[in-house]
Amino acid sequence: MAQDRCRPNRTASFALAAGPAPVLAAVLAAVLAAALGTCAAAPPVQAAEVTREQLVAANYRQGMVAFQQRCSACHSLADGGKDLAGPNLYGMFSRAAGSKPGFRFSAAMQSAGFTWTAQRLIELVAAPDGYPPGSSMALPEPVPEADRIALASFLMVETGGADWPRPAPPAAARGAAGPDAPLAERFPSFWNHLMRNTTRYRLEREGAEPYRFDVYFRTDGSAAASDPAIKGFWHVDETDTFCYALHGLPVEPTQFVECFPVVAMSIPRFREELWTSTPVPGVRLTGGIVAGRPAAAEAKGGAPAPR
């Protein structure tokens, strides 16, 4: 019986059940196996290898929700995003486990000896006690089986590991969420990127020092800035164009308006120079997005300290 459970096909039956039962079964199997010394080193195995077709067909939104609920507290995804409690995951699907420079991985992760694949990721999020065993990442509970492939697929798309296109935000997100759904649901990538990070500006006028400031777009339609004198607001119209206005700048022009298609802003990129414009003749405005924002940026009325 225990011997049977050490064969690779032992998990086929676990996968049929949902909820805590398979976890218990897997733990029992591991305990029995360890006691018998048969396959103690075998990593937790999922039923069948996930296929490319399954990943391409997976529900992007379902994966996104799973990520936001279960992973986003500790992991950022965008290229150049910060390491949080866990490492930034951009590029993880072409990286050996535990090899991202600049992050202090556990010895277990560093010596895992594999490169991340969708299958490995699915095994990771199914593992209740760390994967590979000894890893310092502990999930409070396994990701429900029904969400695992969607989560893997979403991660591949968002970390540059998919060889299929990101579902076009307007069509796919609208189709799933409906045209009347909140902006955050229709354009999650745009929303998360802009509402959680810092938009950084440099205003250059001939013969003057460049003027730099940061802006924090907020979910209530307002915008705060590193300079408390600067205020602003934003709006997305029915053609899915994002327009915003800033006023109270201490230099010319003291106010300006810019508009961009939301789709163009849905690719989460961090760079100090993402766009330039000429709000008034002789003035060059450079904008970009950098990761994170001061907590005070969310406080109503309270302006964060200048950086």
- Nearest approach, Cβ of residue 297 and ligand HEC (Å): 23
- Residue 67's identity, in one-letter code, is F
State which of residues 1, 41, 85, 295 lies at the interface with ligand HEC (CB under 6 A): 85
Site membership for ligand HEC, residue 78 (CB under 6 A): no
- Nearest approach, Cβ of residue 116 and ligand HEC (Å): 6
Site membership for ligand HEC, residue 82 (CB under 6 A): no
- Residue 122's identity, in one-letter code, is I
Nearer to ligand HEC by Cβ, of 120 and 200: the residue is 120
Nearer to ligand HEC by Cβ, of 95 and 174: the residue is 95
From 85-93, 174-182, 215-223, 253-261, span contacting ligand HEC (CB under 6 A) = 85-93
State which of residues 38, 106, 119, 241 lies at the interface with ligand HEC (CB under 6 A): 106
Nearer to ligand HEC by Cβ, of 161 and 232: the residue is 161
Which positions ≥6 away from 51 have C-beta within 8 Å? Answer: none
State which of residues 82, 95, 202, 212 lies at the interface with ligand HEC (CB under 6 A): 95
- Rounded to the nearest 10°, the torsion over CA 170, 224, 80, 84 is -110
Question: Burial level of 21, CB count in 10 A (0-12/13-18/19+)?
Answer: exposed
State which of residues 26, 30, 55, 109 lies at the interface with ligand HEC (CB under 6 A): 109
Give yes or no for a contact between 204 and 286, defined as CB atoms under 8 angstroms apart: yes
Give yes or no for a contact between 275 and 286, defined as CB atoms under 8 angstroms apart: yes
Site membership for ligand HEC, residue 137 (CB under 6 A): yes
From 51-59, 100-108, 164-172, 187-195, span contacting ligand HEC (CB under 6 A) = 100-108
Give yes or no for a contact between 271 and 251, defined as CB atoms under 8 angstroms apart: no
Nearer to ligand HEC by Cβ, of 74 and 259: the residue is 74
Which positions ≥6 away from 20 have C-beta within 8 Å? Answer: none
HSE-up of residue 157 (Cα within 13 Å, Cβ side) = 25
From 9-17, 23-31, 131-139, 275-283, span contacting ligand HEC (CB under 6 A) = 131-139
- Nearest approach, Cβ of residue 52 and ligand HEC (Å): 19
The encoded tokens of residue 183 equal 């902006």
From its phi and psi, is residue 37 left (phi > 0), alpha (psi between -120 and 50) or beta? left
The label of the residue with tokens 């299958």 reads 119
State which of residues 29, 30, 125, 265 lies at the interface with ligand HEC (CB under 6 A): 125
**Whole-number Å distance between alpha carbons of 2 and 133:** 20
SS3 of 209, please? coil
Residues making contact with ligand HEC (CB under 6 A): 70-71, 73-75, 85-87, 89, 92, 95, 97-98, 100, 105-106, 108-109, 116, 121, 124-125, 135-137, 139, 143
